[in-house]
Amino acid sequence: MIQFGHKEFFWAFLLLLVFVLLYGLYRRWRKRAVKSLGDPELVGKMMLHRSGFKAGYRFVMLLLALFFLIAGIIDPKVGSRLETVKRKGIDLMVALDVSNSMLAEDIRPNRLDRAKMAVSNLIDKLNGDRVGLIVFAGRAYKQLPLTADYGAAKLFLSTVDTKIVPSQGTAIGAAIQMAIKSFDNPKHNRAIVIITDGENHQDDAVAAAKTAASKGIKVFTIGMGLPDGSPIPIYDGSGNKSFLKDRSGKVVITKLNEAMLREIAVAGNGAYARANNANVGLENILNKINKIQKKELETKQFTDYEHRFQFFLAWAILFLILEVVTKDRKSKWTDKLDFFGK
């Protein structure tokens, strides 16, 4: 397991690109300057002791030194001891709808982006719980198994979009069934949060919620969208906007199916909340989740990390030394190696 002591300095790697660009501009300017003095070949003979190779070599050494210096400042740390840690919490699986209807913009900026922000806020407020992530459209896929690593959970969440599931649709029942199978310990208190617009076209989600409830798993639902509905935007490569149409050429309007989501929540002994442009309704759901009795969970995690910045700084110093001891001028002994002279 790797951690970074100062992630905020990752942007400094962009300096490498800036220096490469500036060096390229300098080489171009120098070439033009030499050309303005006269015939480049003749000018080159006049600058007999200057080595173009060594100048490039010194720049590469400086670039490598800067790379390792930045890496050292970021301070990579490697986990050195894995221990079993006990904490109190529940197991929570979040099932996120990624069908095309979640691109509708009745909830700003759109349903999916707002849902991802809500899940991210939910993860920030967890304490001792394990969380997992399922994405679903026409089929359901486990994006992240149960984990107490909230940083990893947010990283996986950031990669979610509507293209992550190849088949379109809204299989809420399949997502619930997969969430049930994802819980690895029936002794833990468990809950499922489904975030969707509720347009279930493929399976019996209510029956799946009843199955979850029979196993002691509560099912909560959050409705993303407004009852009046909204068209589904499509953007081309130039950013031009159009709307999804059906086979008859009419614009498809996707509406929140509140009745379905309420029914699923009732069947799963959970609760339902509707999102709007003011809030996502997650506070209400989170309060109910927090009322679930938390049991002692055992998770394995790294409890000790060893710093590795010193190795990167050593390489940085080495490349700086190589740059300093290298001169732009050719060495005198290389002038004597004229195998093709008179």
Q: Summarize pLDDT for 251-279 with one digit per residue, the tens.
A: 989 999 999 999 999 999 999 998 877 77
8 Å CB contact between 51 and 330: yes
Answer yes or no: is pLDDT of 340 > 50.
no
Q: Report the range of poorest mean pLDDT among 39-48, 217-226, 246-255, 284-293.
A: 39-48
Residue ranges of the domains in the chain? 13-76+308-335, 84-299
Q: Summarize pLDDT for 72-86 with one digit per residue, the tens.
A: 898 887 755 555 556
Helices (H), 188-341: 205-214, 258-267, 282-290, 309-324, 332-335
Answer yes or no: is pLDDT of 338 > 50.
no
What pLDDT, on a 0 to 100 scale, did the predictor assign at position 139? 92
Q: Quick one: which of 224, 134, 216 has its CA closest to 171?
A: 134
Q: Quick one: which of 123, 103, 126, 124 has its CA closest to 114?
A: 103
Q: How far is CA 73 from CA 15, 311, 313, 340, in A?
A: 14, 11, 8, 50
Kindly report the average pLDDT of the chain as a whole number.
83
Q: Report the range of poorest mean pLDDT among 13-27, 91-105, 193-207, 288-302.
A: 288-302
What is the DSSP secondary structure assignment for residue 275, as one 8-state letter? -
The residue that leads in pLDDT, 290 or 180, is: 180
In whole angstroms, give the CA distance from residue 281 to residue 174: 24
Answer yes or no: is pLDDT of 305 > 80.
no
What pLDDT, on a 0 to 100 scale, did the predictor assign at position 334? 43
Answer yes or no: is pLDDT of 342 > 50.
no
Q: Which two tokens stand for residue 96?
A: 């996120």
What pLDDT, on a 0 to 100 scale, did the predictor assign at position 96? 97
In whole angstroms, give the CA distance from residue 273 to residue 285: 7
Rg (CA), the chain: 30
Q: Summarize pLDDT for 133-148 with one digit per residue, the tens.
A: 999 999 999 999 999 8
CA angle, 177 as apex, 172 and 179 as ends, to 5°?
Answer: 95
What mean pLDDT is predicted for residues 13-25?
A: 91
Residue type at 275 in one-letter notation: A
**129: Cα separation from own chain's centroid:** 21
The beta strand positions in 181-312, using DSSP E, are 190-196, 217-223, 230-231, 233-235, 241-243, 253-254, 272-274, 295-307
Q: How confident is the model at residue 43 (pLDDT cuts 50, 70, 90)?
A: low
Q: Report the range of poorest mean pLDDT among 17-21, 163-167, 321-325.
A: 321-325
Answer yes or no: is pLDDT of 172 > 90.
yes
Answer yes or no: is pLDDT of 59 > 60.
yes
Percentage of the chain with pLDDT > 70?
82
- How many other C-beta atoms can be found within 10 angstroms of the C-beta atom of residue 306? 10
In whole angstroms, give the CA distance from residue 160 to residue 47: 58
Burial of 55 (0-12, 13-18, 19+ CB in 10 A): middle
| Residues 84-299, CATH architecture | 3-Layer(aba) Sandwich (3.40)
Query: Quick one: which H or E segment has residue 30?
Result: helix 14-37
What mean pLDDT is predicted for residues 331-342?
A: 43
- Within 8 A by CB and 6+ apart from 283, the residues are none
